[in-house]
Amino acid sequence: MTVILVRHGRSTANTSGVLAGRTPGVGLDDLGRGQAEALVGRLADQHAAIRAVVRSPLDRCAQTVAPLLGALRAAPERRDEVVEEVADDLAEVDYGSWTGRTIKELLKEPLWQVVQRQPSAAVFPGGEGLAQMSARSVAAIRSLDRRFAGENGDGLWVACSHGDVIKSVIADAMGMHLDSFQRIVVDTASITVIRYGSTRPYIHTVNNTAAVSIPAPRPPRPDDQDDAVVGGETGAHLRLDHAQPDHAHAARPHPGPLHDRRVRG
């Protein structure tokens, strides 16, 4: 019912100015490996609850979740095995002949403006369209969430994928048209939390680069409804030890400059 969407850590391609796409062998750089290690602590409170870790088949996603999988399997409070799966439908966009080219070069292509302004119409030469990517990614996440929801519908699982894939899933959950998805920012190693209720998705956090709060399972209602709380969440489910902000994990400003170059998943 609740998915923790994780974008892979920073890769060697992210800092080289090259659109890696599905190029094999692109791994994490030193900072990215540190981000992968830090993910273990950021999700420490959820180690016993996470049922599955599903990832894109690309190396940078495998390397991102490897430390987390090790920690989950070693957690003494676990009562069952954590499921690990590779999902082809969570793979990076197939950029076709754009793959391996520099961003500086791609900026001159007429298609670049289509990607920025009307992504639903963008089809990469020799590759796939962003609308195709969105359809497969959203269908995969929703299908996997039904699988891992569990008998009580309170299952928690992790999906590790790529920037545009996660942005398309967020846009779907928000009820946004794909043409607006470039407004969403998904940094490397960021966490997004979506709970798929019986009537609609609920988005609890987007692009979080610190520790995160995962929604507590809700008691079942006899009418099987999952309505939003009028006036906003009451906080009644919070425990005293979680009521105060943890300043040690407070989100820090992202150190780098902002770029309008959003096809670099």
pLDDT digits (tens, 9 = 90+) for 91-129: 999 999 999 999 999 999 999 999 999 999 999 999 999
Domain boundaries, the chain: 2-218
| 8-state DSSP, 239 | -
Best CATH choice for the domain 2-218 from the list 3.20.20.80, 3.40.50.1240, 2.20.70.10, 3.90.1150.10? 3.40.50.1240
Q: How far is CA 218 from CA 83, 179, 198, 236, 244, in A?
A: 24, 34, 12, 11, 21
pLDDT per position as a tens digit, 23-47:
999 999 999 999 999 999 999 999 9
pLDDT per position as a tens digit, 149-204:
988 888 999 999 999 999 999 999 999 999 999 999 999 999 999 999 989 999 99
- Which residue carries 């690990």 as its tokens? 84
Is the pLDDT score of 258 beyond 60? no
When mean pLDDT is compared across 87-91, 108-112, 246-250, the lowest value belongs to 246-250
Half-sphere exposure at residue 245, Cβ-oriented, CA atoms within 13 angstroms = 6
**H or E element: which one contains 129?**
none
**H or E element: which one contains 52?**
strand 50-55
* Strands lying side by side in the sheet with 50-55: 83-86, 50-55, 156-161, 2-7, 191-196, 201-208
pLDDT band at 223 (very low <50, low <70, confident <90, very high): low
